[in-house]
Structure 1
């Protein structure tokens, strides 16, 4: 055990909050793109190329109404408005194999999540590095989808308790099973190119279901510009990316519902056709994100923005990608196709120290852009799956040392006023979260 102590201490130093490049993403490469990559590679070389890490997140939450639905850690039970819970308990093992030149040739990761609700796999993947041209890497297994910024930001490093509502609905658990090719030029001097391309093929439903329920595969691609100084006279760093998702769900019913305009009103219209059986209904998304970091004497200021729009196939009562094909009374349910959009905006400010951070986040998710307000009614064929939500979160994060983090966060959640019973005004579902995170 003694030989691991220097490695763990060295890794924690690299992860100090005042390190601009220390944020860990779910699919960090073992290369020298950033300081974390260099540190990981150094540890692998010195300590048998194995790294063990983990964290736990005990928390207390209070919601404004008993039994309210929430995307902040799951719905509350019917007679409860507060709870203690272990939100995450992660254990991760990384292994890298290096050739005689000290270059990574293969990389393997597995990660488990254990809470009072059970134990589940979170990551189980391997990566092969091509070292002739130093350009390609191939990843296979269960890993994070290469889409957007928030989806890939690790929950250990995120400044808010959860990812936004849209991220959880479109890409539940963030991971999927598939294969991904990465183009990222690694030069002989150890540096990499300023741009990276990830393109992968996946089952589609991710970890929200036990297996793939159709033969349709989803293609995801992302082009990223790594953090760069805006000019020679500024310390500010700017990064950005664009993402695309081309996928779908194969209809196992002859009935598909779509939003169409009839008599000056949009309604959910039934399309009954034999041709719908076996037809691929769309899951097509396009997204763009950007980040601006402005270092200062005692920390930094950071702005993030991300916008996603597209078409989503789901069910009558939810716009969430189904983990298993929906069935009622032994019959295959019809699928529902909606046009959506949404966005996330972050403002992060250190408070006279890198250990103290003020957080403001605003996001919206509109699962059905064609209707709003009282148009969203049962008479028009709509449900709570068509409601727009706007969320404003305000929080404070305190890091007393490299292995401990406290988070206090309040979310004000607003649904649009509609013609649906229970949603003619804003439903009471604001959430306060108090969390402690221990990591090693």
Structure 2
């Protein structure tokens, strides 16, 4: 408890310092020159401090919300599971403070960037981004970043929670890319001169630990290689439509610390997970391979009337996890006695589709979203839960339809009302023979600076 209060005092001190620096750096240099006697050592020091910290930028947002679930104690990807006796709750979904430090050369080209982002809620304080980036200043094409930052895979994973039109990312994004960030290094190709013939192209290639923020350290020496080739927003002449998209690949995995590996197969005409207990499995790399493609189209509705937007993304591949979940393990999976759990290798696929429409003005917006995640696309329906199949709740497909309304009061304040209809496939598995009552209504305010 003493350690917790010490951390909170440190966090409050950092917040106070950030506010003071933000206030100080908002003052114009000429005003300072007029007000400060630069012939004194104190005056010279204050001007020097201004020039040093003028590159600092502070931003943040908080998202208080109220949620109502169909039933008490449901498992949910709408901001986490509900406690056993709870079907409604107030919570602070996110409370972010971000500090960026950026330096530019005399040609207004970036030279270096540092970013620090913290998330504070009633559940505690944690880091989100902690990285540095250096830019090449000869060709203005490349950059190198290292630290904790978002994985360069897909579109939704990298879309900020402050800008997204839905309360949460889709179920697939949350399971495959939990917390979105990971520790690693990345090289980017992105022309920064306006007239460059490849100015709409962006290529990211990086190596990452693989566990993300679900772990405090790596538990094997294998790294995830992630690459994305993206076409940056391109405006068509004549109709001003804006098109963007990309393709992504994640080629990774985890070391097998147990000989017990389950894979899909067919035995005597029945599909199921079949055990491979070969001792040679120990030390091999179980696959985590994702392949995805995404596209975004924005159609302007007219001056001050907003836009119509369509988004789509599809991902498929192989995922290694455990019997109970398809989420990437953050630690070596063990049971209550410390025995290493067997690994399950499944083929999955999933997608999301967005339709976003401003309602006559930029202040009012409606969104419809459909997403699905099939953690094991080699089986379906009554095959799941069949005797001897070794198929369980982690193999159940989910489809979610979301409908929301957003009101942008001003650049700092946004209101959201959103309802998730969550549908699971009917199986032979106890508790999943019919649809679970796990729909969720979310009412949220967002304050942003």
Scaled by the length of structure 2, what TM-score is found? 0.87
Corresponding residue for residue 138 of structure 1: 144
Quick check: 2:191–2:199 contact (8 Å CA) kept in 1? yes
1:287 maps to 2:299: no
Aligned residues: 403
| 1:221-278 deviation per Cα after TM superposition (whole angstroms, max 9, x unaligned) | 0000011134x22111111100000000100001100011122221110001111101
The match for 1:370 among 373, 378, 388 is 378
Quick check: 2:25–2:54 contact (8 Å CA) kept in 1? no
How far apart, CA to CA, are the structure 1 residues paired with 2:144 and 2:97? 24
SS at match of 2:376: coil
Corresponding residue for residue 202 of structure 2: 196
Structure 1 pair 213/46, CA: closer, same or farther in 2 (3 Å)? closer
The match for 1:257 among 254, 257, 262 is 262
Corresponding residue for residue 247 of structure 1: 252
| 1:113-132 deviation per Cα after TM superposition (whole angstroms, max 9, x unaligned) | 00000000000000010011
1:414 maps to 2:428: no
Choose 1 or 2 for highest CA Rg: 2
Q: CA deviation at 1:191?
A: 9.3
1:436 maps to 2:442: no
| 1:298-321 deviation per Cα after TM superposition (whole angstroms, max 9, x unaligned) | 110000000000000001010111
SS at match of 1:319: coil
Structure 1 pair 378/117, CA: closer, same or farther in 2 (3 Å)? farther
How far apart, CA to CA, are the structure 2 residues paired with 1:189 and 1:370? 48
**Superposition pairs for residues 351-366 of structure 1, below 5 Å?**
351-366=359-374
Quick check: 2:145–2:187 contact (8 Å CA) kept in 1? yes
How far apart, CA to CA, are the structure 2 residues paired with 1:6 and 1:243? 43
Higher helix share: 2
Quick check: 2:375–2:395 contact (8 Å CA) kept in 1? yes
Q: Which ranges in structure 2 are unaligned for 5 or more consecutive residues?
A: 1-19, 29-49
1:345 maps to 2:353: yes
How far apart, CA to CA, are the structure 2 residues paired with 1:287 and 1:147? 8
Corresponding residue for residue 71 of structure 2: 65
How far apart, CA to CA, are the structure 2 residues paired with 1:301 and 1:6? 39
Corresponding residue for residue 343 of structure 2: 335
SS at match of 1:327: coil
SS at match of 2:175: helix
Quick check: 1:313–1:319 contact (8 Å CA) kept in 2? yes
**Superposition pairs for residues 36-47 of structure 1, below 5 Å?**
none
The alignment yields a C-alpha RMSD, in angstroms, of: 1.7
The match for 1:229 among 227, 235, 260 is 235
The match for 1:423 among 432, 439, 446 is 432
Q: CA deviation at 1:97?
A: 2.0
Q: CA deviation at 1:6?
A: 7.7
Scaled by the length of structure 1, what TM-score is found? 0.89
How far apart, CA to CA, are the structure 2 residues paired with 1:411 and 1:150? 17
**Superposition pairs for residues 106-255 of structure 1, below 5 Å?**
106-187=112-193, 193-230=199-236, 232-255=237-260
1:277 maps to 2:282: yes
SS at match of 1:204: coil
Q: CA deviation at 1:324?
A: 1.1
Quick check: 1:186–1:192 contact (8 Å CA) kept in 2? no
SS at match of 1:331: coil
Q: Which ranges in structure 1 are unaligned for 5 or more consecutive residues?
A: 8-43
Corresponding residue for residue 316 of structure 1: 323
SS at match of 1:207: helix
How far apart, CA to CA, are the structure 2 residues paired with 1:339 and 1:206? 21
How far apart, CA to CA, are the structure 2 residues paired with 1:69 and 1:6? 49
The match for 1:393 among 390, 395, 402 is 402
Quick check: 2:273–2:390 contact (8 Å CA) kept in 1? yes
SS at match of 1:385: helix
Quick check: 2:25–2:56 contact (8 Å CA) kept in 1? no
Q: 1 or 2 for the larger relative contact order (CA 8 Å, sep ≥6)?
A: 1
How far apart, CA to CA, are the structure 2 residues paired with 1:363 and 1:188? 36
Q: CA deviation at 1:192?
A: 6.7
How far apart, CA to CA, are the structure 2 residues paired with 1:196 and 1:116? 38
How far apart, CA to CA, are the structure 1 residues paired with 2:392 and 2:196? 54
SS at match of 1:57: strand
